[in-house]
Structure 1
């Protein structure tokens, strides 16, 4: 993984010292809250419902054990003993005290982490496939490209005050685990007909109040053109993007209003202007970055212990069936650690659990960990002979829930429990749904199903691309939950379709149960997933189950 050089270290120390002075001026009253707001947002500090919230970047979701231990220490020393992992592969601390924030930033700097550009109208934390560098289906590790984009975009003088926040996602696999089509810019590693590596560039994706799937602006971009082309895209957006209405300021609206062809023409013209200015410097940077991402020294060892454990322990077998993914190295597996124990808050991890993850990463995963946009943790490089020991340690820490990819592996935003923008609760709904299907003992029979919950129209829970999506809204002071079906965040991305009128807080779990039971009746075989069945039969059978005739007519829209 990338290691800071002297410039990185000095830059971060200077930024942190600058913000320490700004915090001191806010505390002594020299700065009003309104004056302080843009300064704190540049450093990832929000003012939420009950307290400040600090959002820490985990670049492209990659951590080492020392960094994870430092995150645990911060949670214990400066917060309430836990952190919340988010859909941008960040970690949020929900209860820091303002005078402590500079010390937190210094503690992060000690392990080469920061909170820069995790907020504000700038380029946010660059996310990537959480199986990067390990996945068997990977064309190339996308993290060097993600790191190049991070370095280029950090404190970029032209892009600190964009019309609106801006998000990148990068994947090196044809199987899109990074939701690239729902980002302002998606970068997909591809090969052309001659087998040469390059990038497919997507633009104008995004969720929120106007969800859109990204459009291909270049189907094949040579590697040497990547950074100047990305700069051209953002530069054109900075000029064309609307600043009169924040709800129409995202690049998806800019592309939609101008048309993709017109936008592409502007980008190509800008690209021709700026490409000579790069003169290969970006490619030299990329080569230096790639040296930091050499594959670990994988070992060749028998896997008999893994096979024996699967035969002897049904609980281990169930966990390995759901929580392991195929690794590119023989004898290895990718372990997804579920942070979705039934009834717990999705994405939360205690300081002690973070230390367990750090220890396991250090001992069994070549000192590497990942955070997924699905709010889980990853041990990317575990030899199969070590999996029984890893499972035992996870089970003791309450981290061995065998539900990855199942209905209780729910993405949920913090909702009205924390967020000042939320209009409904998300966490309690997620907890109740997960507990319901655990009680019913159905989720393994249901199979793969992506359920996502957002507590407001901003869609931080990615509900639009959930197979089942839930959006919580305020209706005359009462929580109302709309349901969408058929969403998809992969390479076959689609925005889910709204089923109809919403449901009250005390009705939503029953409504989800009706949808799932309808699917179990409709599917042609256990191999037909929920999404496959929905695409085959359409929405009508699910709507019939969701809105019984004697109740449907009385609902408020």
Structure 2
């Protein structure tokens, strides 16, 4: 893992101290809420539907066992609503002190961050001080700036890797964190990078997507995509450079973002993302970027050229760790009972991936199970994960794009012991990449922008599909749920996508099929198509079932769902979905309370 320099450490401590001073002035009434708002957002603190939300940065998803333990402590000691907030959220439905609310949890996000939803703002400075003890913070997790850089969770260990993208991601983090020109862009700006032949980071759906490639001479460089994004207008990124030498990536991104900063819409929030500029201007945008880049190189002397020495310095933090035999004794004593052998083999198939080192494996801990929102991890689970990471993965884990946790340094002979330990913790369910390994945003239970709840829909589908034989027979399916058009649940890229919409003040849901994030399973990145008018909450599980029944009817051999949709055609699945309308009614969800006062914060999310 990258080791923060003394500059980094002191910077984080200074930011925490500044936040404490700003918070104390705000609580004392000498710094107004409007004045405090942009300051707290710069440190990842939002005010959402009922309570503050903290988004903690996990740059390129890499996290240590020590950091997991601090997150567990925050969940246990701080992630609890006050009685006032509890009454506001629950009303008369429950008594103060009950466990009705999902409190004491961290939430893994699709952009490799961790969120907390109930920390009182008055405690925020204490939490920031605690995060700083393990080099964590909320910088670049909010606001109209360059956000947390994301990458493939198997970066550095995947056999299909052209080059490890983590050193480049870290250099991009350092460049963007304190860049004065890019602190107030027209809108938030997200960068993803992959070094593998398979895109496991949804790279083309980002404002900038970077693919590490090699040219005919074997030189390493980048294929550059610009203008991807979801939201109201889902657009796949456009190639603007087929090959850029690796040492020029900062100079080139300087040009990309400068042109956006200059011409991006600031008069309309919904047209402010770079995707709108690229779509509107097309080749003109690309030409301006190239002209700006030439000026940076020729007139300014290419000030951000990465030297080989600097790349080597950063890359030295990403050498493979020393793999000890701390789990060896336990591994030797573990034998999988015959009645559990099938469960273990399924886990090997779904949760265990190959590794550059033939003696090692990358293993995913599943945070998708009945009774728990997708991506949620309570304090005990976070502590348990830290223990597993120490024992089996050299103290390092990765937050994944699919809201799970990956252990990248597991010895092959330790797999039985890891499976047993993860099973006891409820983290070894062999549903990775299957239907119940769904992506879902927190939705209307927390977010002020949400039109509908995501979590109850995810729970209803998860409850219906608990049979592991059925899940494995259905095969790999991406199901993504968003509570609003902002697409934090990436519904556009789901093989089955579910979007919460407002209809006469009630919660309804649009369903789409055929989306793709660009991975090997999904094929070329593309948005899904909506199957028709929206469905009530009670109808959604039946609609999903109807889509899967159509898949079973038309499937050939072991064909995947997405391949079947593409072969058979959209209209067949649209008809199946609409035939399920009103066939499976359940109790409707209550109308969401309005939270207009918090909408500005939510729009920053």
Aligned in 2, Cα 1:439/1:212: closer, same or farther, shift over 3 Å? same
Query: How many Å apart are 1:551 and its aligned residue?
Result: 7.2
Aligned length: 550
Q: Secondary structure at the residue paired with 2:31?
A: coil
In 2, the alpha carbon distance for the partners of 1:389 and 1:255 equals 51
Aligned in 2, Cα 1:280/1:27: closer, same or farther, shift over 3 Å? same
Aligned in 2, Cα 1:394/1:239: closer, same or farther, shift over 3 Å? same
Does residue 1:293 correspond to 2:318, yes or no? yes
Contact between 1:306 and 1:387, CA under 8 Å: does it hold in 2? Answer: no
Does residue 1:545 correspond to 2:568, yes or no? no
Aligned in 2, Cα 1:98/1:308: closer, same or farther, shift over 3 Å? closer
Query: How many Å apart are 1:548 and its aligned residue?
Result: 2.4
The TM-score, its normalising length taken from structure 2, stands at: 0.88
Does residue 1:486 correspond to 2:495, yes or no? no
In 2, the alpha carbon distance for the partners of 1:299 and 1:38 equals 46
Match of 2:228 in 1: 205
Contact between 2:145 and 2:182, CA under 8 Å: does it hold in 1? Answer: yes
Counterpart pick for 1:226 among 226, 249, 252: 249
Structure 1 window deviating more from structure 2 (320-329 vs 419-428): it is 320-329
In 1, the alpha carbon distance for the partners of 2:13 and 2:312 equals 26
Match of 2:52 in 1: 52
Contact between 2:264 and 2:273, CA under 8 Å: does it hold in 1? Answer: yes
Contact between 2:518 and 2:525, CA under 8 Å: does it hold in 1? Answer: yes
Contact between 1:298 and 1:329, CA under 8 Å: does it hold in 2? Answer: no
Match of 1:30 in 2: 30
Match of 1:555 in 2: none
Structure 1 window deviating more from structure 2 (371-380 vs 438-447): it is 438-447
Match of 2:109 in 1: 86
Q: Where do residues 64-213 of structure 1 align in structure 2 (5 Å cutoff)? A: 64-80=64-80, 81-213=104-236
Query: How many Å apart are 1:195 and its aligned residue?
Result: 2.3
Match of 1:350 in 2: 378
Q: Secondary structure at the residue paired with 1:208?
A: coil
Structure 1 window deviating more from structure 2 (124-133 vs 306-315): it is 306-315
Q: Secondary structure at the residue paired with 1:438?
A: coil
In 1, the alpha carbon distance for the partners of 2:332 and 2:516 equals 37
Q: Secondary structure at the residue paired with 2:181?
A: coil
In 2, the alpha carbon distance for the partners of 1:280 and 1:451 equals 41
Aligned in 2, Cα 1:305/1:497: closer, same or farther, shift over 3 Å? farther
Aligned in 2, Cα 1:432/1:279: closer, same or farther, shift over 3 Å? closer
Aligned in 2, Cα 1:540/1:298: closer, same or farther, shift over 3 Å? same
Match of 2:528 in 1: 496
What is the alpha-carbon root mean square deviation over aligned residues? 2.1
In 2, the alpha carbon distance for the partners of 1:547 and 1:306 equals 54
Deviations 1:79-118 (A, max 9, x none): 1422111111111111111121111111111111110120
Q: Secondary structure at the residue paired with 1:158?
A: helix
Match of 2:562 in 1: 531
In 2, the alpha carbon distance for the partners of 1:96 and 1:428 equals 23
In 1, the alpha carbon distance for the partners of 2:356 and 2:306 equals 32
Query: How many Å apart are 1:414 and its aligned residue?
Result: 0.3
Aligned in 2, Cα 1:279/1:327: closer, same or farther, shift over 3 Å? closer
Q: Secondary structure at the residue paired with 2:30?
A: coil
Structure 1 window deviating more from structure 2 (305-314 vs 316-325): it is 305-314
In 1, the alpha carbon distance for the partners of 2:554 and 2:572 equals 8
Q: Where do residues 431-450 of structure 1 align in structure 2 (5 Å cutoff)? A: 431-439=459-467, 441-450=469-478
Contact between 1:306 and 1:384, CA under 8 Å: does it hold in 2? Answer: no
Does residue 1:422 correspond to 2:418, yes or no? no
In 2, the alpha carbon distance for the partners of 1:549 and 1:52 equals 39
Query: How many Å apart are 1:440 and its aligned residue?
Result: 8.4
Query: How many Å apart are 1:296 and its aligned residue?
Result: 2.4
Match of 2:94 in 1: none
Structure 1 window deviating more from structure 2 (338-347 vs 424-433): it is 338-347
Counterpart pick for 1:373 among 375, 382, 401: 401
Query: How many Å apart are 1:331 and its aligned residue?
Result: 2.4
In 1, the alpha carbon distance for the partners of 2:314 and 2:411 equals 27
The TM-score, its normalising length taken from structure 1, stands at: 0.95
Contact between 1:305 and 1:388, CA under 8 Å: does it hold in 2? Answer: no
Query: How many Å apart are 1:397 and its aligned residue?
Result: 1.2
Deviations 1:430-465 (A, max 9, x none): 111011111585211100000000000000000000
Q: Secondary structure at the residue paired with 2:182?
A: coil
Contact between 2:263 and 2:277, CA under 8 Å: does it hold in 1? Answer: yes
Q: Secondary structure at the residue paired with 2:106?
A: strand
Counterpart pick for 2:290 among 268, 280, 286: 268
Match of 2:420 in 1: 392
In 1, the alpha carbon distance for the partners of 2:540 and 2:333 equals 41
In 1, the alpha carbon distance for the partners of 2:147 and 2:512 equals 27
Deviations 1:40-99 (A, max 9, x none): 111100001111111000010001111111111111121142211111111111111112
> Unaligned stretches of 5+ in structure 2?
81-103, 584-605
Query: How many Å apart are 1:308 and its aligned residue?
Result: 6.9
Q: Secondary structure at the residue paired with 2:210?
A: strand
Aligned in 2, Cα 1:545/1:102: closer, same or farther, shift over 3 Å? same
Contact between 2:335 and 2:416, CA under 8 Å: does it hold in 1? Answer: no
Q: Secondary structure at the residue paired with 1:313?
A: helix
Match of 1:506 in 2: 538
